[in-house]
Each structure stands twice: as C-alpha cells, then as structure tokens.
Amino acid sequence: MSLNKKPFIIGIAGGSGSGKTFFLNCFLHHFKQDEVTLVSQDDYYIPAGEMSQEENKLYNFDLPSTIDSQQFLKDIKQLLDGEVVYKKEYNFNNPLAVVKILEIKSAPIIIVEGLFILHFKEIAALLDHMIFVDADEEIALDRRIKRDGLERGYPEEDVLYKWHNHVLPAYKEYLLPYKEQCHKIVVNNTNEAEEIIAITEEISVELRNTVLKDI
C-alpha cells in the first residue's frame, strides 16, 4: 500500500439474526489476509462481571452504554494510521471461556462491524462505505433462538424476553433510523448461501477495481 493511501473503511451493520456474521464471513473470503482487517463492536463490551442466569437475562447488553465506544474509536484510528491493535476478545460473560488476545493489523480495507456503529457519530464519520444487512423480524428471531440455544445454552424463554425487551427496542432506536443512509442494503431472508456469496462477490469485485487497484 502506498504510504499516502488511507485505508478504505467499510461499516457493516445489521440487527441480531440478520445473518450479518455469515455475510461477513463470505465477504472476507473474497480477500487475501493482508488486504482486509476486521474490527468488531462485540470485542468492546464493558465487562459486566459474572452473573447468574437470571441476572444475565435481565441485563440489557443492547444499549450503546454497554460498549466502550471511545476505545473502539481509538483503535479504529490506530488502524487508519497503519498501527497494530492488540485487544482482548470478549467472552460473552462465559467464565469458562479462554480469553484470546486479538492482534488486529492494519490493511487497505478495514471492516468495522456492529449494531451501534452508525449511532456512534465519531465512528460513523470515519466510514467510507456503509452496508446494512436486513432480515424480516420473524426470520431474525428464529435465527436468534437457534443461535442462543445452540451456542450459548440459553433457554428459549430467556431469549424471547431479551428479544422483546432489549433486542428489538435497541434495533428500532439505534440502528433502523440509519438504514436509508447506507450505500447498500442487503436483504438476507433466505438461508441460501449462494445468494450472499453472489452479493459479496459483486461488492468485492467493485472494491478490487477501485480500492485495491493501485496497491
């Protein structure tokens, strides 16, 4: 990368169950490791401490105040300056999880992803391109129930409580208002991998012809 060429920052936002993680994985697959780097909002949760199942159910993780937005911003700026960021991976309050130290290297394309990235004004101002991953409410909820049950062992009753009291209100207040400002809206209602692979391929070709062509 030429010394005076600033990395291109793509913001990828989407509500819970929108299929954002699958979209991201497909998207990253189109690039070499040194062409792209990922910074995830999930790794900037302010530690909530150990909680019982009931406390975990009632604690609202879906608020901007649960994120260390200033550290998130600082690290994005560090990557923009070509520096390496070292960050503890967030373990979703799992006391048994082995906490990894993430080494995030700068790259020509920096992907910033998360629920509140468009709500955090200073972070949104740094984004060159914004992608909104969307899905119908019933489909998103179904995906959330399956994920939280399989990956995190949450009872369905707890998942539904969080969905109606935390997840949906946060989505409507802190993400949905920015949908129309995004450069691309990806509707992800099917679980057909081919569709998402085709969309991410199209975007990556575009970036390869613009952002990466001089590198």
pLDDT at position 1, please?
44
42 domain residue, yes or no = yes
Question: Per-residue pLDDT tens for 151-208?
Answer: 777 889 999 999 999 999 999 999 999 999 999 999 999 878 898 999 999 999 999 8
For residue 84, the enclosing domain spans 8-210
Q: Measure Cα distances from 56 to 96, 109, 155 in Å.
A: 15, 36, 12
68 domain residue, yes or no = yes
Helix, strand or coil, per DSSP, at residue 111: strand
Question: What residue type is 78 in one-letter code?
Answer: Q
2 domain residue, yes or no = no
pLDDT at position 13, please?
97
Tens digits of pLDDT across the chain (215 residues): 444 588 999 999 999 999 999 999 999 999 999 999 999 999 999 987 777 778 877 889 899 999 999 999 999 999 999 999 999 887 665 666 677 898 999 999 999 999 999 999 999 999 999 999 999 999 999 999 998 877 777 889 999 999 999 999 999 999 999 999 999 999 999 878 898 999 999 999 999 888 888 66
161 domain residue, yes or no = yes
pLDDT at position 211, please?
87
Give the bridge partners for 140, in sequence order.
none
114 domain residue, yes or no = yes
39 domain residue, yes or no = yes
**CA nearest to 119, candidates 67, 186, 188:** 67
pLDDT at position 193, please?
86
Task: Output phi, psi for 173, to 5 deg.
Answer: -90, -40
**CA nearest to 108, candidates 87, 135, 80:** 80
**CA nearest to 22, candidates 186, 213, 159:** 186
pLDDT at position 201, please?
94
Question: How far is residue 86's CA from residue 188's CA, in Å, rounded to a whole number?
Answer: 32
Total domains in the fold of the chain: 1
3 domain residue, yes or no = no
Model pTM score: 0.90
- Per the structure block, which two tokens stand in for 16? 């819970």
- Per the structure block, which two tokens stand in for 176? 């949905």
- Rg of the chain taking only CA atoms, in angstroms: 17
Q: Residue 57's domain is classified under what CATH number?
A: 3.40.50.300
215 domain residue, yes or no = no
